[in-house]
Amino acid sequence: MSTAISLALAWAINAAALWVANALFSGVRIHGWWAYIIGAAVLGIANAVIKPIVSLITLPLIILTLGLFLLVINVAMIALAEWAAPHFSIDGFWTYVGTVVIIWLVNWFGHSVADELERSRRRPSLA
């Protein structure tokens, strides 16, 4: 799969994850396609660029809390997306935590399906 297709797929999966979080939690309010597009883009960029740097800087804290501090970092990444995207708001800490879990689940499922489709496409048919 080309890099452009991989990036577009990751962007679409993030947008779908935000949509699911918006549908499940009353404290998540996302209105309009631009909010989804910008929120998904910021979330993707933040997770690809900012999160590894912050994780490296806070590695002792992550180790001390047995990885629980990664949840705080993920909440911060979603807060950044919320701040950057118009018409996107999340109310309450536990709604942030639930949104992190939903985004993780949707991303895991979406990428698993995409990987399986890619593997089946590469497999030679016996017919």
32-71 confidence digits (pLDDT tens): 999 999 999 999 999 999 999 999 999 999 999 999 999 9
User: CA 80, CA 47: separation in Å to the nearest integer?
Assistant: 10
In whole angstroms, how far apart are CA 112 and each of 11, 36, 43, 116, 117?
15, 22, 19, 6, 9
Strand, coil or helix: what is 30? strand
Please state the pTM of the whole predicted model. Answer: 0.86
Helix axes 93-122, 69-84, angle to 10 degrees: 90
What per-residue confidence (pLDDT) applies to 32?
93
Give the residue extent of every domain in the chain. 3-108
